[in-house]
Structures are given as C-alpha cells and as structure tokens.
Structure 1
Amino acid sequence: MAFTAMEATDDAESPAPISKDAEVTLKLGSTEDKREQYRLMRDAMEKRFIRVTRGSIVGGVRLGMFTAAFYGLQNLLAEQRGVHDVFNVVGAGSATASAFGLILPGSLRWRARNMLLGSVLGAAFCFPLGWLHLKLIEKANEGNQAANENLDKRDIKSGVSAAIERLESNLHK
C-alpha cells in the first residue's frame, strides 16, 4: 500500500503534520514537467513570503499599540499628578499589561486571570526599569546643570540677534 503526503494530511489520526517544505518536495517529485515544478516552487515561496510578511506586520502593529498605550498613560499620569517619578512608569506598565491581558482570547475567567497577572507583572517589571530610567536622566542632567549655571551669568542672545550683532561688528570695521 502506497502512503502519500496527501493521505498524511487528510488523516485525522496522523501523529505529526508534514511540513510545507516536505509537502512541496513530494509534489515536485510527482511531476516531470519543469514548468509545473517551477510553478509549485514559486507558489510555495509566495505563500511563505506572505506568511512572514503578515506576521511581521501584525507583530509591528501590536508592538506599536502597546508602546503608544504605555507612553500615553505614562504622560497622562505625569500630567495629572504633576510629578515625574517611578510611579508613573509603574502605573502605566501595570495598566497597559492589564489591558493587553484583557484582550487575549479565552473565557471571561481566563481573561480576568490574564488581566490580574498582567497588572502584577507589569508593575513588577516597570518598577526597576522606571527607577533606572529616572536615575539615568538625573545623571545626564548633572552635567547640564553646570552648563545652565554659566548661561545665567552671561547675556543670552538668540541665534538671529547674535548673527545681526556679528554682521554689524564686521561692517563697522
């Protein structure tokens, strides 16, 4: 009895599905026509390209939505509270992870579990990251404060007024 790839994919009790590449290879051996072999390979490559492209686009959209929600909530919390601290990052991370846990597929009980778990994990991951981010910003601004103190002591001029004064001084020479 001959066993083909088509029978393996149709059989519900098949232990492991045959991969798409193996299926194309089996189909290629079934015909001697070079044009048919070329068409089969082209179709397989097009399907693979579309599958990879679709996955990349969907993943990018999900990442963009998550990032936009996180930073939007972080800025909203900072604006409402009037303070830029680690708790804005924790609140935004917790709320964003909770919302994305809620939209995962499943029953209402499963979604509630994902929402609670997302809230806890979002806060747990965002607290050290938010603290590190704020410390790095403080460290970066230490060098700028010394430069800002020097700016207060001298006359600050805009680029246009400074250019006009240089032009006038060159004309008077």
Structure 2
Amino acid sequence: MEATEKSEETVSNVAKKLPGTVNWGTATTIAVFAGMFYGGSKEAAASVSKDAEVTLKLGSTPDKREQYRLIRDAMEKRFIRVTRGSIVGGVRLGMFTAAFYGLQNLLAEKRGVHDVFNVAAAGSATAATFGLILPGSLKWRARNVAMGAVLGAAFCFPLGWLHLKLVEKVNEGNEALAYPSAIQKGESKSGVGAAIERLEESLNK
C-alpha cells in the first residue's frame, strides 16, 4: 500500500514539472565541474610566466642540488595554484548556478507557469546578490547590486526567451512524431478488433 502511494506521489511530481524548467542538481553539478576546469586552466596558463623565472634561475645556478630544489618548489607551487584555482572556480560557478536555477524553479512553482519573466527575475536577483557579497565599501556594493540587477535581467531575458522557444519547438516536434504512431496503433487495434468480431460471428453461425 505504501509503495503504491509513493509511486502515485512520484508520478504526480513528475506531471507537475513545467516544460522548460531545468533540473537544479544536474545543472549545479555540471557548473561545478566546468568552473573547476576553467579555474584550473586559468591558473595553469598563468604559471607559464613563473616557469620562465624558474628557468632563468636554473641557468644561473650551477649546483645540482639547488636546481633540484628550485624545480621541486616550482612544481609544488604550480600544483597548489592550479588546485586552488580549480576549487575556487568550481565553488563560484556552482553557487551561482545553484542560486539561479533554484530561484527560477521556485518562481515557476509559486506562479504555476514558467516563462521568460522567471528567468529574468532569477538572473537579476542572483547577479544582485553576488554583487552584494563582493568586497568593497557600502557605496561600492550598492553600485554592484544595481549593476548586477540590471545586467542580469538584460542578459537573461533574451536568453530565457530563446531557451523557451527552443523547448517549445522540440515539444512540437515530439508531438508531431508521436501522433502518426498513435494513429497506427489505433488502426492496428481496430483491425484486430474487427478480425475478432468476424471470428465470433463465424463461430456463432
């Protein structure tokens, strides 16, 4: 009995999902890995200038032990920089994505509809929040909040409209593909039903 109730709840939750909404957990996970890759790549590219300095020091140091120590220190520092960049990049992009899609889904649930205004409002609120937590004076933070709110809405409104239009086109294509198969199933069922009726009539005779 409990299993039946759980299955009914799951079906109802799936049915309530509005078209165009994005899975919060999946989007956040992808954003974390993307941020880690970007942050690590950025720090690895910035380490090229540091490697040039180490090469110059190696050329001016005849002692093998000193050269080994310089190489080891350079590799350790590079590893630390790349690791720190990966973690910071993953956390930043993951937090931004989680806040954006979480707020977007919350607005869709409260309003009962998912449209471009949900996307614009979520982008504006998320950008304003991150502008507020940036370091600086109170005046500087207020400026960041205002700019974040305006830029977030300006960027997310057309992107959200494009995303919803693409989802609408995909759904229309899926419905168009599913309609002929449904007709064929209905025809095949009617054909089988007619054959059964003819068989019953012949048996009754």
Give the superposed CA RMSD.
2.1
Question: Is residue 2:83 matched to residue 1:53?
Answer: yes
Residue 135 of structure 1 aligns to which amino acid in structure 2?
K
Residue 73 of structure 2 aligns to which amino acid in structure 1?
D
Question: Is residue 2:193 matched to residue 1:124?
Answer: no
SS at the partner of 1:139?
A: helix
Which one is further off, 47-56 or 89-98? 47-56
Question: Is residue 2:142 matched to residue 1:112?
Answer: yes
Aligned equivalents of 1:149, 1:100: Cα separation in 2: 49
1:60-118 CA-to-partner distances (Å, cap 9, x unmatched) read 11000000100000000000000111001001000000001011110011001001100
Residue 47 of structure 1 aligns to which amino acid in structure 2?
K
Offset at residue 27 of structure 1 (A): 3.7
Offset at residue 133 of structure 1 (A): 0.3
Offset at residue 33 of structure 1 (A): 1.8
Alignment match, 2:128: 98
Gaps of 5+ in 1: 1-18, 156-173
* Greater relative contact order (Cα < 8 A, sep 6+): 2
Of Structure 1 and Structure 2, the greater helix share is in: 2
TM-score by length of 2: 0.61
Aligned equivalents of 1:94, 1:53: Cα separation in 2: 31
Question: Is residue 2:71 matched to residue 1:41?
Answer: yes
Question: Is residue 2:102 matched to residue 1:72?
Answer: yes
Residue 111 of structure 2 aligns to which amino acid in structure 1?
R
Aligned equivalents of 1:117, 1:83: Cα separation in 2: 28
Aligned equivalents of 1:152, 1:113: Cα separation in 2: 60
Offset at residue 56 of structure 1 (A): 1.6
Gaps of 5+ in 2: 1-48, 187-205
- Select the residue among 85, 100, 111 that pairs with 1:81: 111
